Amino acid sequence: MIIMALDHVRDFNHNLIGVLSPEDLTRTTPALFFTRWITHFCAPVFMFTAGLGAYFWQDRHHRTVAELSGFLAKRGLWLILLELTVFRFAIGFSLLSGPVLLTILWALGCSMLALALLVKLPIPAITALSLGMISLHNLLDRFRDLGGLWNVLHQQGAFPLGPLTFVAAYPLIPWIGVMGAGYCFGVLMKTKTPQWILRFGLMLSLGFLALRALNFYGDPNAWDGTFLSFLRTTKYPPSLAFLLMTLGPALMLLGWFGRLGFAPRNPLIVFGRTPLFYFVVHLYVARMVALTHNGVGLGGVFLIWIAVVAAAYPLCFWLMKVKERRKDWWLAYL
């Protein structure tokens, strides 16, 4: 959640946005490249831990499959609504003008709707389907320009629907698999030690190094022998290499965190318990800051990032305490 804010602050405030892509290896700098690269970990972790959270919500509260399915469906629809309203307004301060972007909240919401159906299957079947989507979807890269539905499922792009133009920034197929894999991983987390999780993450990370080194499958963009091109994997849709590169280290970090203790006031705990609220707050704060200037350099981006996160903390801490005191149903949607 904290790293995600860096990406949005850069999107809104960097003076080279629209001029220079951080991943244009012919023009970028290592500092700008890694400012973007580190934020690649956010979306895969959100998807994976959303599935993981769904498993523990069901397991710890002894919910039925029907209850879990219903909760996922309602929360998925809620996130899609927020994408089309709250997020859309933050980008352009309008709900009526410009293309309709389908980004992270859309992808999370649609993946939850898919998981609402998948949880009715046995865990082995969900595992097989999820891992199949993750590992095999790059076989579909050769199929291009098949229309709007294909943009939604696998190829990033724009398509008309009635009087509106939609931009599918987060094609869904691999993301559904990532959330499903997170749900199934909950079974392992019940019995495995943090050390085992760390080693599993290391195995995935080594798998990324091996797959990328072979340079024949797992990402539509081959690397050219340079270090930055080795790390420049494809996010839209997330390639197999991209997911191994991000989820491997993330699981290593999860295993390491599992051996540590965190104070209730730790920002990692506070933001982790109020993720959606934090998302909206930091997005609007970063957007409002952007209205006060014409863009800043990379150093300014980092200063604004720290300020935005600091500004969001007291509000999120307040909501966390409200959630601890009260169990109103609507609080589950914040």
For the chain (334 residues), the mean pLDDT of every run of 10, in chain order, is: 96 93 95 98 97 95 95 97 95 89 97 98 98 97 93 96 94 97 96 95 98 96 95 97 98 94 95 96 95 94 97 97 91 84
Q: Cα(210)–Cα(213) distance, rounded to whole angstroms?
A: 5
Q: What is the pLDDT of residue 142?
A: 92
Q: Is residue 131 part of a domain?
A: no
Q: Is residue 237 part of a domain?
A: no
Q: pTM of the entire structure?
A: 0.95
* First-residue to last-residue Cα distance in the chain: 14
Strand pairing of 157-161 and 100-102? Answer: unpaired
Contact present, 37 and 43 (Cβ < 8 Å):
no
Contact present, 230 and 212 (Cβ < 8 Å):
yes
Q: What is the pLDDT of residue 334?
A: 84
Q: What is the pLDDT of residue 327?
A: 85
Domain count, the chain: 1
**Measuring CA to CA, which residue among 314, 328, 247, 257 is closest to residue 282?**
314
Contact present, 202 and 255 (Cβ < 8 Å):
no
**Measuring CA to CA, which residue among 155, 157, 192 is closest to residue 172?**
155
Q: Is residue 248 part of a domain?
A: no
Q: What is the pLDDT of residue 332?
A: 81
Q: Cα(334)–Cα(331) distance, rounded to whole angstroms?
A: 5
* Cα 31 versus chain centre, distance: 22
DSSP string, 301-324: HHHHHHHHHHHHHHHHHHHHHHHH
- For residue 32, the enclosing domain spans 1-40+264-334
User: How far lies 219's CA from each of 4, 24, 177, 222, in Å?
Assistant: 23, 17, 17, 7
Q: What is the pLDDT of residue 96?
A: 85
Q: Is residue 296 part of a domain?
A: yes
Q: Is residue 333 part of a domain?
A: yes
Q: What is the pLDDT of residues 268-286, one digit of tens each?
A: 999 999 999 999 999 999 9
Q: What is the pLDDT of residue 330?
A: 86
Q: Is residue 95 part of a domain?
A: no
